[in-house]
Amino acid sequence: MWNAILWGTIAASATLLGALVVLKFTIPKKIIGSIMALGTGALIGATTYELLEESLEISSIKEVAIGFLGGALIFTILDYYISHKGGQKRKHSDRVDENNASLFNSSGGSSKGSATSGMGIFIGSVMDTLPESAMIGMSLIGGQAVSMALVVSIFISNIPEGLSSTAGLLKSGFTKKKIIFMWVLVVFFSALSSLAGATLLDNASDSIKAIVSCFAGGAIIAMIASTMMPEAFKEGGPIVGFITSIGVFISLWLHYL
C-alpha cells in the first residue's frame, strides 16, 4: 500500500516541480517542447511494454481490445468536454517565456471566462495524471517491484505538464499560492489513484486486470496524441521526432533491465 502511495507521489510530483520552475524562471519554448517529446516517447514505450504486452500474457486480444479502445474512447469524450471549458490550454506553453506581468490582465485579476479556463486547465491536468498513476499502482499488484520504466516515463512527461499548465493558470489570473495548492492537490489525487490501482484489483481475475490496465493505457495514448504530441512539435520543431524515439528507447531499456 505504502509503496503505491510513495511511487505515485514521486511520479506526480514532477508536475509540482514544473510549476515551481516556471514560477521562478523563464523557460525557452524549445526546451519545453523537447521535454514533452521525451515524455511522449517514454509513455508510448511504457504503455506498450508494461501494459499491452503484459496484459496479452495473462489474457487474450479480446480483453486487450476492450480495455485499450474503451480507455481511448472515454478519454476522448472527456477531453472533448474539458477542452470546451478551457482545458485544451493545459499543455500550451505559448506564454511560458513571457514576463510574468503579461500573464495577467490589466486589472490584475481575472474575468469569469478566464477563471473558467483556469479551472478547465486544472481539471484536465487531473484527468491526465490519474490513469498514469493508476498504472503505477497496477504494476505493484501481487507484491511485485515497481516498474521503474513507468515511474521514470510518467515523471518525465509530468514536468512539461506542470510548466505549461502553470502558464495557463497564471494567464487565467490565479495567484502563485493558489497554483501551488492546486498542484499539491493533483499530487494527492495521483497518490490515491496509484493506491486504488494497487489494491482494488488485487483479487480480480486476470481478465479484469488486463481490461483495466489496458483501459488506463488507452487513455494515456489518447492523451498523448491529442495534447502532448501536437504541442511538442509546435514548440520544438522537427527535432522532436528524434527526441520522441529516444524516449521510446529509454522505456524499452528500463523495461528489460
Instruction: Give 152's pLDDT tier (boundaries 50, 70, 90).
Output: confident
Domain spans of the chain, in order of start: 2-255
Q: Give the contacts of 63 (CB within 8 A, at least 6 positions apart).
A: 55, 207, 210, 211, 214
pTM: 0.77
Please report the pLDDT score of residue 244 as a whole number: 96
Mean pLDDT rounded to a whole number for the chain:
81
DSSP 64: H
**Which CA distances in Å does 198 have to 16, 120, 145?**
23, 28, 12
Of the listed ranges 26-30, 69-73, 241-245, the least confidently predicted one is 26-30
Are the beta carbons of 136 and 11 closer than 8 angstroms?
Answer: yes
Q: For the segment 187-229, what is each residue's pLDDT rounded down to a tens digit? A: 999 999 999 888 887 778 889 988 988 998 898 899 889 888 9
Q: For the segment 37-95, what is each residue's pLDDT rounded down to a tens digit? A: 998 998 899 889 888 988 899 899 999 999 999 999 998 998 888 777 665 555 555 54
